[in-house]
A and B are shown apart, each in its own frame.
Chain A
Amino acid sequence: MEIDNKPIALKIEGVGVNFLTLGRVEIIMGFDNFLYVVLKSGPGKAEPTYRGVFAALCFPVTCPHQYVSLRYIDKSGEEREIGVVRDPSEFPAEVRRLIAASLANYYFEFEISRIFKIELRHGLLMFDVETDHGPRQFEMYWRGDRAQNYGKDGKVLFDIFENRYIVRDVNKLLPDERELFTRFIYW
């Protein structure tokens, strides 16, 4: 008997991700910053509609511009996925704007561009930084779980209130600021 040693394709039809392509989905503005989504099922078939839909990124760090999951809360309060938009750039500008607005509604982060001061006091790191939302001072516990990897060379810091501060690429900080940053956030 001949043995077929080719790799076996993973059969995911019906159980894998429902990828939403341009012809298969209609995304329009819904109520209170939510999206209204209609799935196109083909002529003569019922078209499921979803209200209160919001967008979330599947890979917010490693692939922040693609793989957008469209989600909603069902009647029982469970969060469910309608499907995943592989690449919003394949959609018209208005849909891209709606997805971007929904993402902005779901995520909020401070992106650090400059680090002016870091002081260690009472087990807390006191940061004085410039962010995309302006200058900011914040405090975080000096603990491993409070600064995590963000992509290949970045870090995400969590302050004492769980606000998120992103250093997208530590290597791109100015040399003095990088030295200061890695003196404390070295892991």
Chain B
Amino acid sequence: MKEPSGVMPTPLILASTDCIPQLIRERLEDVVLHGEPILLAAEADLDSFGHILPVWLLATSSHLVVAPAVPEMPVKGPYDYKAISDFDIHPSIGSTSLRLFLKATPVELVRFTNENRERFQRVLVQLKRLKEGLPIQQDALFLPDPHFCSKCGLILPAIGAPCAHCVQRKAAFSQMFSMLAPYRWTMLGLFLLMMVGIALDMLPPRLTKVLVDDVLTTRQHADWLFFLVATLAGAALLRRGIDIVINWLAPKVGTGVTNDIRKRLFQKLQEMSVAYYDRVSVGHLMSRITNDVEVMHGFVIQVTQGFLVNVFLTIAIGVMLFSMNAKLAILVLIPIPFVFIGTLFFWKRIYPNYYKYWDSNSKLGSMLNGVLSGIRLVKVFGQEKRETGRFFKAADYVRETRIKVDTKVGIFSPLMAYVFGLGGLIVWFVGGRDVLNGTGITLGTLMAFLGYIAMFYAPLGSLAMFSNWVTQFATASQRIFEILDMPSEVQDDPDAIDCPYISGAIEMDDVWFGYDPYNPVIKGVSLKIEAGEKIGIVGRSGSGKTTLVNLLCRFYEIQRGEIKIDGVSIRRFKRPEILQHIGLVLQEPFLFRGSIKDNIAYGMPDATWEDILNASRAANCHDFIMKLPEGYDTQLGERGAGLSGGEKQRLSIGRALLFNPRILILDEATSSVDTESEQEIQRALRIIGEGRTVISIAHRLSTLKDADRIYVIDSGRLAEFGTHEELMERQGVYYKLVKIQTELASLELD
């Protein structure tokens, strides 16, 4: 495999017909193309039955033809653009087709594997242009695909995100060290203390040599005994004192950095678009903010306390050993290559196990989050046993993965210790023989040497195990920086403007959007809403109503067209600014744990008592709140536990109202409440809707009768619009929906 892989495939759209294979040219000779030159040629890689083979789509200015590169398969077409009503890209399971429509009948032109979707999306646009009699846009066909890195061709995590290959070298470590910058003075202090500590560590073996050779063996300086022992005691005391200061300072840096990371992570998560949360599980994110950040803490402690000390200690001892006896010092180095080989092996074999452990841990968190959030459902269906079983299985898996990691580390560490031990034994043997022979080394020197070796192998061992820490750090940092480096899909222009005031006029012009960009759910919707109008949006489930308001709130970025507020594209406004003017009431009201007052004032924490009371009164929730013993200070449970569905909904309307938005969006706001509550909410909405643009999505069409205009969405398209009376008269989709509901209502009455 080439480096880097995951690259955008070579374009198979040809600007020149010279590149069309000979076989295809020959096949075209039999097809009447009126002698027109081929303007566009694109190669697909599947036939209709899912066999991999080249199939060519060729377009002239008036016709289309499809020619498989095997003579046994028939040529499709030519199709005259005049007979074609439209084209589309149609995803099926595992592949995609480019289709044309003869009136309403779809005809598959070519089928291809999904890596060709982007290029056939471009072909589709050009075919539509040809059909309209417009010239082909060569530039648009050959523009680089923004999903891939323009430098190395690797797929990007998201459009505009940094390329993992191009930024890798400076990635995790340099980002981590840049985060240490605010702590540089503390770290400098730590470094100096460590240097003094290392110097003190060098002292005892040296003094031991003097003690053995000059005091105990030769008795030349017997009077030095007290002085030497006192110096050793003093050095040890000073060393421990330095340790205490280091242990006090280092955690300050460690906790400081991890605290910074945790805050940045949370801040970043707040910036991410709704689309991001559609993809990523909340449990995984929680694990990243809690567990992974904790691993980073351990690493910082290692860097500030462990790693640096060990590096300098190893260097200092190496210098000491060579200065004392070069021959023995070289023997000491014998185990070192084994240490490095062992470390490499450790990296290769243990890394996936670490990832496995962290991943299983985060999955456990994710599962726990899911079960506890839906605990009522679990109980209603009596699934406690099953859920307990699932949790046990996941917990066992975490345990197994941890055991695997610990076992492998447990085998690696003693083996390394044994290798180090061999170095000491070699010195004992060679050095001991020299002492016995009286050749070049004294007993004191040998004792000092062995003292240094004990100090030498310990930090080396730690350095070898440092890979363990690095592995954990690399795994955790990969997961953390993946979030920090991820650009939000919805980003403000650098020159985005504020919007302190809006009137609430909305315009959508040929808006296209799909959660999967190749599979649009909103298809060319255009509508115009004047400021202060009351608008209804209706349609079947899944027709795209909620998606439409999500786009207005800019939770997702549209793929084509324009959405304007007060005549200005919403892309030109700063996103938080525009959201200030939009109040959104959802079908499932989400209330936080806390007081009723805090929940109502969630969007406006500075709201006055009077504002809160007025908004509640207007939302028709004041009376039920006042019936509660603690009124507005009543503490609510998780997700508003303790209130009925209607009460929660009215609270969420109050919350939206306090925000005083110019645009109020009610997304099925009353569909999950009883009729009485609905009536109360509707009454409240009529009053508070005055002077605002109100967009109501509703299944119960009777609630929209008074709307200034009703837009009917059908399969992502705007099917029709008008007042209730106009739409009833037209007898289209709306009429049918009303009829179905009327019949249902009469059935209920029966």
Residue A124 interfacial (CB < 8 Å): yes
Contacts of B168 in A (CB 8 A): 122
Residue B680 interfacial (CB < 8 Å): no
Residue B95 interfacial (CB < 8 Å): yes
CB-CB contacts below 8 Å: A3-51 with B: 31-33, 51
Q: Are B1 and A119 in contact (CB under 8 A)?
A: yes
Which one of A62-70, A88-96, A160-168 is at the B interface?
Answer: A160-168
Distance in Å from the Cβ of B369 to the closest Cβ of chain A?
15
- Chain A CB within 10 Å, residue with most, of B1, B92, B94, B114: B94
Q: What 1/0 mask marks residues of chain B from 1 to 17 whose CB sits below 8 Å from any chain A CB?
A: 10111100000000000
Q: Are A161 and B115 in contact (CB under 8 A)?
A: yes
Residue B356 interfacial (CB < 8 Å): yes
C-alpha gap A163/B46 in the complex (Å): 13
C-alpha gap A33/B352 in the complex (Å): 46
Closest to B112 in A: A108
Contacts of A175 in B (CB 8 A): none
Distance in Å from the Cβ of A102 to the closest Cβ of chain B?
10
Contacts of B93 in A (CB 8 A): 60, 106-109, 164
Contacts of B540 in A (CB 8 A): 78
Closest to A100 in B: B49
Q: Are B108 and A33 in contact (CB under 8 A)?
A: yes
Residue B692 interfacial (CB < 8 Å): no
Distance in Å from the Cβ of A180 to the closest Cβ of chain B?
10
Contacts of B117 in A (CB 8 A): 161
Q: Are B359 and A133 in contact (CB under 8 A)?
A: no
Contacts of A109 in B (CB 8 A): 93-94
Which one of B99-107, B235-243, B326-334, B698-706 is at the A interface?
Answer: B99-107
Residue B715 interfacial (CB < 8 Å): yes
Residue B175 interfacial (CB < 8 Å): no
Contacts of A186 in B (CB 8 A): 356
Contacts of B49 in A (CB 8 A): 101, 104-105
C-alpha gap A107/B46 in the complex (Å): 12
Residue of B1, B48, B108, B715 touching A137 (CB-CB under 8 A): B1
Contacts of B114 in A (CB 8 A): 159, 161-163
C-alpha gap A101/B48 in the complex (Å): 9
Q: Are B106 and A73 in contact (CB under 8 A)?
A: yes
C-alpha gap A105/B108 in the complex (Å): 10
C-alpha gap A130/B111 in the complex (Å): 22
Residue of B92, B157, B359 touching A107 (CB-CB under 8 A): B92
CB-CB contacts below 8 Å: B168-213 with A: 168
Closest to B9 in A: A161
Contacts of A159 in B (CB 8 A): 114-115
Q: What 1/0 mask marks residues of chain A from 154 to 187 whose CB sits below 8 Å from any chain B CB?
A: 0000011111100000000000000000011011
Distance in Å from the Cβ of A108 to the closest Cβ of chain B?
4
Residue B155 interfacial (CB < 8 Å): yes
Closest to B366 in A: A144
- Chain A CB within 10 Å, residue with most, of B95, B359, B540: B95
A108-B46, A134-B52 known; A122+B92 contact, CB < 8 A: no
A75-B104, A108-B93 known; A122+B165 contact, CB < 8 A: yes
Contacts of A161 in B (CB 8 A): 113-115, 117
A32-B108, A77-B715 known; A139+B352 contact, CB < 8 A: no
Distance in Å from the Cβ of B646 to the closest Cβ of chain A?
30
Q: What 1/0 mask marks residues of chain B from 541 to 580 whose CB sits below 8 Å from any chain A CB?
A: 0000000000000000000000000000000000000000
Distance in Å from the Cβ of A31 to the closest Cβ of chain B?
7
Residue B164 interfacial (CB < 8 Å): yes
Q: Are A123 and B715 in contact (CB under 8 A)?
A: no
Closest to B99 in A: A32
Q: Are B50 and A122 in contact (CB under 8 A)?
A: no
Q: Are B106 and A139 in contact (CB under 8 A)?
A: no
Contacts of B478 in A (CB 8 A): 123
C-alpha gap A183/B349 in the complex (Å): 9
CB-CB contacts below 8 Å: B427-452 with A: none
Q: What 1/0 mask marks residues of chain B from 108 to 125 whose CB sits below 8 Å from any chain A CB?
A: 100101110100000000
Residue B733 interfacial (CB < 8 Å): yes
A-B residue pairs in contact (CB < 8 Å), sample of 22 = A31-B107, A60-B93, A75-B104, A76-B715, A76-B733, A77-B715, A107-B92, A107-B93, A107-B94, A108-B93, A109-B93, A119-B1, A122-B4, A122-B154, A123-B478, A124-B5, A124-B155, A126-B6, A134-B52, A139-B155, A145-B279, A187-B360
List 9 extra interface pairs beyond A33-B108, A161-B117, CB under 8 A.
Answer: A52-B106, A106-B93, A119-B1, A122-B4, A123-B157, A124-B155, A134-B52, A139-B5, A163-B95
